[in-house]
Structure 1
Amino acid sequence: MAPAAKEFYEDQKNLNKLCNFLRSTDGPAVREAIMMDKRVYYIKGEKLVNFMVEPKKGTKWPKELPRFSSRPEAITVCKELCNIQYIHRSEKVAKGELEVARVRDFDESAYFTWIYEGDMTNKNLMTTALIIGFLCCTCFPIWPNFLKVFVWYMSVSLLIFIFFLVTLRAVVFLFVWIIGYEMWFLPNLFDESLGFCESFVPVISCEKTKDGQLMYRVGVFVAFSSFCYWAVTQPSEFDGFVKGQGDFIKDLYAGTLLSDISQKDKENIDKPKMPSLEDLLKKLDSEDEEEKELSEEEAAEALLNSLVEDSEDIDDEEE
């Protein structure tokens, strides 16, 4: 290793920078396994050295880190990573399961588990934000009224935006599909297998429709044209529909959709519905009264039956 590079990687801070790069998404591919009931990431020593000497195509090596010119240079750094316990040698005991090896020296043919987790600042900040967000959500009933109104307006605005976005995507797809192409705006927007940023890539996708869809496109065009003609020729109904939608949005923002509910119920809409002691006592009294009424009815019915039987006995004696 060149003297300048050797001195560079002798500093642990610089080694941390190298490990941050190796542990990032631009680093070498790693595998998952279980070791001591914990999920870990491991890599073969040969692949680690190969990546450090000759990174995969398209990898952007950090400018502040010197490149390795030979395999012995990379092996020297890997041995140092073992010495400071950033990685440790492991052995496979089963499929997807590792254990710590007794031999600690670096060897290209062995497997090595990452102990270095990288910069924990972002992870700690995200954990703190998650805890604060959870506490804020659970304490929503005691929020000030202006914050509740703000959250309500934000939620309604987001809901309306998503609705119009989905509708716009569908309408644009319909128009272009009738022409003979399939065009989607943000095609991966609802793909749950992708990350947040990847869901917005690409912005637009456009492909020619498959053969055999001409009759379907003509049928959809005729149906859509008929609907548009009906909407134009029925201005009073269509205007009423537009006005109704506008009133609905206004009521949604104003929170007056539940106008038939009392003000007390509106204020307590987020509170659990627990019966009071007075309600429970009234319920018990009503049940006792019902049982009493039933017992009286049963007694009257029994008396009536006995009278009927007595009258039948008298008739039999007279005969």
Structure 2
Amino acid sequence: MAQNKKESAPEYNDDQKDLIKVATLLQKKGLKEKEAVANRQRVYYFRADMFHELVLEHSKHILDILSKHIKLEKLDSIEDSMELGDIFINNGLLKSFDRVKEEPQKYKYPKKLVQAQFPMKEKGFYAFDIFKPQNKTAYLAIGLAVAVIAIILFPLWPYTVKLWIFSFLFYFSAIMLGLIFVRLLIFLLLFLFGIDFWIFPNMLDDDIAILDSFLPLLYVNRRHDGWTVFFFRMFLLLCLGAYCYNESGLPIPLTQTGELFDEIYEWGKGKMIGNETNAIQYTGKGHESLDDILKMTEQYEQEEEEERQRKEQEELEKKEEEMRENEDL
């Protein structure tokens, strides 16, 4: 994206907000942006052919984003993608650039560009002109540094806090994995009867906000497949019926499942935070935890010194005994 001087954040209208979402989508999907110098400013630009390729590849998603405020009937060809690029330019969110005439070689990604005034073409160089607040980047950098330090010092955290964190992460992961498994199982079962049914259909979509991932709650649609898929579904249904009939007489080991869950929990707790008996107990009184560490270190060094002296004494006694045996001989 083009880098501008420090300025207040502009107020974008609804059209521009939707276009910014499209730009973010293209960047996440692999729009390659290179750094260059244009008019003594640093810009991050992309090639038009890469833009068109990604737009056509994700045309359905882009049309869904723009459907509320921007009238764009289709994205089936390069011309349609060029029309989308012109919409970006007309809304002030895209700038066009050209090669420097004095450039000795025609690099695929030149290091120097000059700003131009032309619409979106099939080939060329363009850069998004979207404001990025610098304070947000600073906050993220500070948060990242604090998180790294906290992770490094994790062994020194109070055992109770570590247990809370581990329990939250463990049960949250178990709930998410269970939800993913259940929604997939229900989808496969109803697929056999020609129905597409999803619980939280946008749950695994990384191009939308976190809260939007849980909206809508359900998605139901009747499939209109050909005879090939129909016979395939009937074959799977017969296989499922035969499997259920074969397994119907066997007991369901729910207790074993619960024991396995508990074993995984205890194993993960031991790997992540260790045992409570070996952990340093923080009482919250000043720096007692540091004193405990120093005492444990001194005790360990003292035990090592005593062990070393004991071994030296044993070796000395062994040598004296060998000398006495030699004198007797």
Which structure would you say has the larger Rg? Answer: 1
Quick one: higher RCO (CA 8 Å, sep 6+), 1 or 2? Answer: 2
